[in-house]
Structure 1
Amino acid sequence: MILVTQCPDCHATFRLTAVQLHAHNGDVRCGQCRQVFNGFLALITVPEAYIQSVAISAQPVPDQFPSVTEAVLSSTEQSPPTDHFGIPLPSEKEDSRPWLAINMLLLALLLGQVVHAYRTEIFVAFPALQPLLRDYCHLVQCEIDLPRHLHLLSLESSDLRISSPAEPDVVVLTAIIRNHALFPQELPALLLTITGTGEQPLASRVFTARDYLVDSAAEQSIFSGESEIQARCFLNTGDVGAIGYQLELIYP
Structure 2
Amino acid sequence: MQITHCPQCETAFKVSPQQLELAKGWVRCGRCAHVFEAALYFETPPEVPVPPLASADAPSLFRSVIAPAVAKDQVTTFPAKTEAQDDANAKLPMPWVVGSTLLALLLCMQFLVVQRHWLAAEEPALRPVLATLCACQVTWPREPEAVLIESSSFTENPQGGYTVQLRLKNTQHHPVAMPALELSLTDLQDQVLVRRVFTAEELSGKDHVQALRDVRSTLNFDLDEKVSKRITGFRAIVFYP
Query: Structure 2 length as normaliser, TM-score?
Result: 0.49
Report which of the two has the higher share of strand. Answer: 1
Q: What is the TM-score with the length of structure 1 in the denominator?
A: 0.47
Q: Which has more radius of gyration?
A: 2
